[in-house]
Each structure stands twice: as C-alpha cells, then as structure tokens.
Amino acid sequence: MAYIDWRMRGPEIANCNCAWGCPCQFNALPTNGNCRAMTAMRVDDGHFGDLSLGGTRWLGMFAWPGPIHLGGGEVQLVIDDGATMAQREALLTILSGQETEPGATIFNVFAAMLETVHEPIFRPIMFEIDIENRIAHTSVEDVIDTRVEPIRNPVTGAAHRARVQLPEGFEYREAEYASGTTRAKGAVSLSWAGTHSHLAPLDLSTHGAA
C-alpha cells in the first residue's frame, strides 16, 4: 500500500500517571492499573507530502481505563493555532495514525486502542524544553499545564540522571527520564504530580522512528 510520505523532527515532552520509569517502556503493566498521559511536540522540521510542517506544535491528552493494549481509550488533541488549515489537517491525519505503516509509530498503535476521539482544540501552545537538563514546560491556557524537572535524590536533593535507549522504539530511540506534574481539564481531565516524564528528540515518519 502506498502512503503519503511524511516526517516530523523535534523535541517531545511526555508525562504520565505512572511511577518514574513507566512500566510501558519495558512491556510491563501500568503502575496504577490504568494509563493517563499527555505528550507534546514542537516540530522543528517536517513535511506531509509537499506541505511543510516546520514551526508547528501539537499536544495530546490521553486516558485508558486499563492498560493501553486493552483499548477503550479516549483522546483530545490540541494543534497550535499558528498552523494553517492545511497543516492542521496534515497533523490530525498523522496523529490519528493514518498514512503510516501498521505499528510503525506510537500514533498508529494508539489509534487502534482508542474508542473516543474528542473534537480537537486550536489554541496557542506554549512549549519550552531543555532536554539535557531535564527541564520543560508546556501549556494551553484553560486546558493543560505540564511542568517537568529532574528526578531528585530523596536524601540530598541532587538531580538524578537516567537515560533510556529503545533501539526498536516506535516513539523515540533515546530519552532523558524526569519527573512531571500535569493538570488538565476538559474532555480528558488529568491530574498528578511527581510522576514519570521523558524528554526526547523525535524523528518520526511514515515508516517509524529513526
């Protein structure tokens, strides 16, 4: 089957309700029995066919009643309102797992596990990230606020560094692990503090992660 050629490269902020490390990264069951998460990306370079995606931003809020692979999930996406109509449509196509080889990206895998897709939101997305120092902040006014900081040693308070490689990962190949706090209201409400976060440079395409 022929797919529209697309690619997105740029940094990602992710935060979920699991303990640091996130069992999903190791093919284990979620810490609390269910999965609730957010992820956001600043597309520094990319395309969808002949359309440039550079300079766009997107954010997703997800919730599953149990482990992701059992399905029944819901999602609400936010596309930065600076994107043109064509870019919005392209991003929504990619993020819904279309025009992608089966199982090649996190978007394609998640799409098969979703039951409810809420209407997307088009608003400004604030996005700040320092992957090396494990610091990040992303927000959409009146929708979501996520802040990330290093994992701290419980005795000394010193920043603890953990970097994980997934050579066959469908989201990232290498990520810095951190601690995140998220508050989101709306169709998918999220609320936790001091849970798993990862910051990673993404390079995703029709054929998977690079």
**Domain segments of the chain: what residues?**
6-209
Tens-digit pLDDT string for the chain (210 aa): 799 999 999 999 999 999 999 999 999 999 999 999 999 999 999 999 999 999 999 999 999 999 999 999 999 999 999 999 999 999 999 999 999 999 999 999 999 999 999 999 999 999 999 999 999 999 999 999 999 999 999 999 999 999 999 999 999 999 999 999 999 998 999 999 999 999 999 999 999 999
Domain 6-209 fold? Acetoacetate decarboxylase-like (2.40.400)
3-class SS letters over 103-132: CCCHHHHHHHCEEEECCCEECCCEEEEECC
| Class of residue 50 by CB neighbours under 10 A (exposed 0-12, middle 13-18, buried 19+) | exposed
Cα-based distances in Å from 165 to 42, 161, 193: 21, 13, 25
pLDDT in tens, 1-49: 799 999 999 999 999 999 999 999 999 999 999 999 999 999 999 999 9
